[in-house]
Structure 1
Amino acid sequence: MALPAHISPMGRLAHYGYLIFCGSVLLFLIAPILVIVPLSFNAAPYFTFSREMLQLDPSAFSLRWYRDIVQNGMQNPNAAFGWAYLVDSWNNAQWIHSLKNSFVIAIATTILSMLLGTLAALGLTSPGMPARGLVTSLLISPMIVPIIITSAGMYFAFSTMGLTGTFTGLIIAHTVLGTPFVVITVTATLEGFDRNLIRAGLSLGASPVRVFRSVIMPLILPGVASGGIFAFATSFDEVVAVIFLADYDQRTVPRQMWAGIREQISPTILAMATILVLLSIGLLTIVELLRRRTERMRGTTL
């Protein structure tokens, strides 16, 4: 877009300097992704670009490390592809095991976070809520307090209750970390909510449950879903709490990647990171679609 003719030379310099600065920051943020994705197709077991890769030699690229995700730990990785191969991978492959754990924990965390966060947001936005600021600060404190302090505190608390090394303990810990996202998104959605709609529904004879299901829930659903997506991403990406609380059987993808970097440097980590990047892009796309839906709904209710 061309600048207006009346802009001074200093204004033009500031404008283009600002564009260069923003472009540099954006490049700095996406540079790791630009490096990780092509390296995940490296045929050699290295974390660097080989001369053949820079020359775009087809023999330098391979799906070797993506196959390793489903084969590493299998009893018979060289078997022909079929039902027995899939069962072997599902039951024995280390990365598949960590993926299953991550999805189980993240899905349970998302459900609990959406339930607790929505109830908390409804209470915080209700008229006459006492000590609203204090309660809000307590609810969102897991986002503010350093995760290592929170994890250490949960470790000492859970160890006395026998919850360390269990899926229950991990789900509770991740729910503590994910609920603030739901509280924030649902509270923001309820900021413009017209409570006269509730009074109108009750005056027409609808029960409180019917009013919530038919009036409140459709309006706050995008906020609930957005918060749930952030809770899912937080749980799926969490590694510090898993290090403190999980046993080997509860090893998640981030914990597996962290152990792989410490114990066995393998480009399989890059392949899994690429898969996680694609998952993140999908989640961000859903969040953006929900945001646009929320704006359309607000436009129709104004």
Structure 2
Amino acid sequence: MKKIILLAAILLITSCSKDEKTKNYSSKVKITKSIENIAKKTGPLVKLKYKFAKGKKFSYKMKTFSKKTEIITADSTIKNNIKQEADYKLNLKVLNITEHGFAEIEVRINSITASTNLNGQTIRYDSKMLYSTREKIQFADYEAVKKTPFKIKVDTKGQVVEVTNVNRIIKNIMNIQKIPDTLSAKTKEQMRATIANGTLMPLIQQMFKVIEDKKVGVDSSWQLKYNSPLAVYTAENVALYKVDSVSIKKDTLVYVDSKLVVNLFGNDVVNQNGATYTFTKPIVNANGNFIFDNSKGLVKKTESVTEMEMTMQVEGFDKNNQKITNRKTDITKSKNIVELL
């Protein structure tokens, strides 16, 4: 899982401002989802259901850990070790229930504390602190979202189907980075999509796990299929869920194990701006578990671990028309814990 990284949006501004005709390979991939029931159930049966009601308020705390090894090979080899930790507190309020049962929810990230260790040097962030202009640029990814509300729409099965009202976040990024408001409508729309779908949606989805719409018991299983962009590839994702146990006491709790299977499709080689980019298909492993509190109609706790390795080689020419080759390998392991408060 992932920490908030809005710097991706900042990079998008820079690249689009320089050349808006540059092809954006990942933005053309349409995300599609489907849910399938694939196994029978045993033991006591429970009908899982999210219990949203207009005006309902609830909060989550989220803790993320990540460790990344970055190996860059050019004239010499550089190895960077990056460790990151972050804690978030998020407040949510149901604004409306649509005629189809979808919940429209306001989300506010009320507090963030984080630390980044790069090769032994640690930088810390606390959203309660007041920072200088230079420091705000350094912490732009956090400063842009703290206490800035946005909206999500969640369906009856727990899928976050839409993230909206991110204009204030975009404005915060531009103000922090001192970017003049002269961007084209196309660039702003790309930025909006990056923040909403690429950054906030995966973050928020951790609090709303997809549940089966039929009664479940021990060994019940279902799966969620969806496509998403990953580097230059289209990732065909299959999230597998299986009920481990059911506790029917004061609250009805359902314990679910999960696993993600990823199949990648697309070209390994991309030619752009006179350079050739050759990718090695990423290796992705992800698994986790969550507890669904059926009495409250919310996810009580979730843990997930993701490991990914990806290599990219870039070939081009320097100012003297001499061929140069750079290679970069990223090895990342992350863990996320989310708890209902």
TM over 0.5: no
* TM-score, L = length of structure 1: 0.21
| Higher RCO structure (Cα 8 Å, ≥6 apart) | 1
* TM-score, L = length of structure 2: 0.19
Considering fraction of residues, name the structure with more helix: 1
